[in-house]
Amino acid sequence: MWNQQEGSKITYLKNFIIFFLLLTLLSSAEEKTYLGPFIKVDNDEESKIYAFRPLFYYESNYELKFKSLDIIYPLIGYSVDSQQTQFNALFRLIKYSNYTTYDDTNKKTFEIFPIVDIAWGGDKDDNYFSLFPLFGSIKNKYAKEKISYFIFPIYMKTYKKNSYNTHFLWPFFSSTSGKYNKGFKFWPLYGSTIKVDPDNLQTVKESKFFLWPFFTFKKDNTTGINLEENNYWPIYLKAESNAHSSTTFLWPFFNIYEDKLRDQKTYNMPWPIIQYKSGSNIKSKRFFPLYSYSKSKYVEKGFFIWPLYRYKNEILASEYFKTKSLLFFLYKQDSFYSLSDNKVNKEFSSLWPIYSIDSYREGYDFRMFAPIESFFSKNAKIREIWSPLWSIVRIQKEKSKSSTSLLFNFIKYSKDEEIDESSFSINLLIPIISNESKKDSNEFSILGGFFAFKTGEDAKIRILYIPIDL
C-alpha cells in the first residue's frame, strides 16, 4: 500500500511537470497565464519569466546576463549576473555570495546568522571563519576592522585603527590598548579610556564613567571639535563642542539643542509632545499628537491628529516625491513628479484592503483587493509574486493596450486600439468560450476548439476539434 501511494504521488508530480513544460512550449513569444493567477509564462527576445505563484518565480534578462529564482518569496532566493552569484534562505538568515571585485579578485561568503560566518578566496587578509559562540573571527563588520572571540562572552577582542579592546565576560570587564590608546572598564562600576595624539603624545580623547549610566564624562578633540560632555543622568546632561551644544534636564523630556554649523536650534519642552526648531533653512513645530510641521531645504513633512493624517514632500536627485497616508496604512499615496515638467512619472495609491493602483504616464495597473500592498508599496517582488493571488479584479492599460481580468482570469478581456484588435475569454484549465476580433477577421471558439469558427480570408470551422475549410 505504501509503495502504491508513493507511486501515485510521483506519477502526479511527473504529470504536473509535463503539463507545465507543455504550457511553456506552447507559449511561443507572448505572455500567458494559466490556472487563474498561479501560472505565468512570458517569453520575448530580451527576457523570460516562468512562475507558479507563490511556489516559485523565475526571470532572466539576456542583455544584462541576469537570472533569478525565488521560492516562496522571501523564503528562498537565488540570483546570478556577470559579477556575482547570491543565495539566501529563511528570510536572509542564511546567505551565500560569490562575487568578483573591480580588481578581478574572487571572494566568497557564507553565513547562517548568527552561528556561522565565513569569507574565503580573494585577498587572504580579508578571509575569516566564525562559529558563534564557540570561536572565530569576523573582519570589516559591525564597525570594527576585526572581531575575535572564544566561547563568547567569556573572551572577545576587537580591532579598530591601531588599537584593540580585550573583553572578559562581556560587557563587564575590558581593557583598551594600542600604540596611542589605553583604558580599563569594570562595567557598570568604573571605566576610563585615553587616546593621545601620535605627533605630540598629548591627550586628545578621554572618557570616564562611575556607576554607569548615572555619571559619565567625555572630552574629545580628535577632529578639532573640542567636545566636552558632563552627564549626571537623568537630572542634568551637558554637551558642548565647536559644532553643537546640548543641555538636558530630566532626560529625555526637556532639552535645548544647537547645531552651530547649520545655525539651527531645537527646543523640546517636553519631548516628544512639544518641539520647536528654527534657524537657517529650517522651520519646525510639533504639538503631539495634534499637529506637526517641518520644512527644510529639500524636505517638508508633518501630520494632523497623528496618525490620522501624515504627509511628506521631498526633492530627490531628478524627481519630486510626495507621500501621504491616513491611519497608517488605511489609505496611502506615493507620487513621483518630474522636476523638468512637474508631471507625475509614477504613482502608487491604495485603500486597504479594498484596492491598489500603480499609475504611469502611459498607463496604469489597478487591482481589486489588496491586503498587503500598502505595507510593501516599493517591493516589486511582493507585488509581482503575491499580489495576483488575491487580485479578484485587475485592470491594466499601457499606451494603446488595455486588459480586464475578473476572478483570476476566469473572465478576461483585452484590446489594442492601435491595431483595432480585441479578445474575450471565459477560462478554466482551457478557454470555455473565447472570441478574438481583428480588423479583417473574427475567431470564436468553445472548449478550445470543440466547436469554433473563423471569418475572413482564412475562414474555417471546427467541429469536435476537426478543422473544416470554408
Residue 128 has pLDDT above 60, yes or no: yes
Q: In degrees, to the nearest 5, what angle opens at C-alpha 90 toward C-alphas 89 and 93? A: 85
Q: With 60 as the cut, is the pLDDT of residue 3 above it? A: no
Calpha distance 170→152 (Å, rounded): 8
Average pLDDT over residues 172-199: 93
- Length in residues, the chain: 470
Cα–Cα distances in Å, from 302 out to 115, 254, 286, 299, 347?
42, 22, 9, 10, 20
Q: How confident is the model at residue 379 (pLDDT cuts 50, 70, 90)?
A: confident
Mean pLDDT taken over the chain: 88
Grid coordinates representing 415 are: 484590446
Q: Cβ contacts of residue 103 below 8 Å, gap of 6+?
A: none
Please tell me the pTM assigned to this model: 0.73
Helix/strand/coil for 9:
helix
pLDDT at 402 over 90: yes
Quickly state the pLDDT bin for 397 (edges 50, 70, 90). Answer: very high
pLDDT mean over 136-148? 93
Residue 247 or residue 419, greater confidence:
247
Nearest CA to 260 among 229, 299, 226, 300?
226
Which grid cell sits at 370?
489588496
Is the pLDDT reported for residue 190 higher than 60?
yes
- Residue with cell string 569594570: 186
Please check the confidence at residue 317 and state whether its pLDDT lies above 90.
no
DSSP assignments along 142-210, one per residue:
TTEEEEEEETTTTEEEEE-SSEEEEEETTTTEEEEEESSEEEEEETTTEEEEEEE-TTT--EEEEEEEE
Rounded to an integer, the average pLDDT of 288-305 is 94
Split at pLDDT 50, 70, 90, the class of 25 is very low
- The rounded distance, in Å, linking the Cα atoms of 34 and 285 is 55
Confidence of residue 277 (pLDDT cuts 50, 70, 90): very high
Angle at 424 between CA 449 and CA 439, to 5 degrees: 90
pLDDT of residue 186: 96
User: pLDDT value at position 2?
Assistant: 46
User: Does the pLDDT at position 1 exceed 80?
Assistant: no
pLDDT the model gives residue 388: 85
Mean pLDDT (whole number) for 368-379: 86
Least confidently predicted of 101-105, 118-122, 276-280: 101-105
Ordered by start, the domain boundaries in the chain are: 303-418, 421-470
Q: Is the pLDDT of residue 9 over 70?
A: no
pLDDT of 5 higher than 60:
no
Task: Report whether the peptide linkage leading into residue 252 is cis, meaning its omega lies within 30 degrees of zero.
Answer: yes
Mean pLDDT across 116-145: 92
Q: Do residues 417 and 403 lie in contact, with contact meaning Cβ atoms separated by under 8 Å? A: no
Query: What radius of gyration do the chain's Cα atoms show?
Result: 32
Q: Per-residue pLDDT for 470 more than 80? A: no
Task: Evaluate whether 109 touches 96 at the Cβ level (below 8 Å).
Answer: yes
Q: Which of 26-35, 143-152, 403-412, 426-435 ranks highest by mean pLDDT?
A: 143-152
| Confidence band for 67, pLDDT divided at 50, 70 and 90 | very high
pLDDT of res. 377: 80
Contacts of 1 (CB under 8 A, 6+ apart): none
Q: What is the pLDDT of residue 349?
A: 94
Q: Among positive and negative, which fits the CA dihedral 339, 344, 345, 349?
A: positive
